[in-house]
Amino acid sequence: MSARTKARKRALDLLFQADVRGESITTVVNAEAKRAAAEPDRAASWLYAREIVDGVTDHRDEIDELISSYAQAWTLERMPHIDRALLRLAAWEILHNPEVPAAVAIDEAVELAKEYSTDDSGRFVNGVLGRIAEHAQA
């Protein structure tokens, strides 16, 4: 598993944890930063995970607006927590990280959805992120 794939999984864990527990992302990130400092072998994935989480936090309004626009018949509140976190993570990569091709961000999110969410989540995540990628290219 690549360092970026591990980082995406860590970022997903952090975004999901903050959402489910109703904690601030700052609290969750600070706790993870302490764990990361104690485990140097996880340092490579920590840096990119932190970049993702910070990016999602900085652009959350824009990201949530796009997700809401393209998630036909689904409100953010109605989505499973894991799908919401995945969409935010991948949308940030598509919109704000030119180092990651949109197709890679989408593929990674779909794989995580298949692994951690419902049977239909992979298709749902793929559809919403595909529309966001089209929006980003326009």
Sequence spans of domains, the chain: 3-137
The reported pTM is 0.93
- Residue 65 pLDDT more than 80? yes
CATH code: domain 3-137 is: 1.10.940.10
- Residue 112 pLDDT more than 90? yes
Per-residue pLDDT at 43: 73
Per-residue pLDDT at 35: 83
Please name which of 116, 119, 108 lies closest in space to residue 1, comparing C-alpha atoms.
108
Residue 71 identity (one-letter amino acid): A
Poorest-confidence range of 22-31, 39-48, 69-78, 95-104?
39-48
CA-to-CA dists, residue 83 to 33, 34, 52, 57, 99, angstroms: 24, 27, 16, 16, 23
> HSE on the CB side for 108, CA within 13 Å?
27
What confidence tens digit (pLDDT) does each residue in 70-98 have?
A: 998 899 999 999 999 999 999 999 999 99
Q: Are 10 and 46 in contact (CB under 8 A)?
A: yes
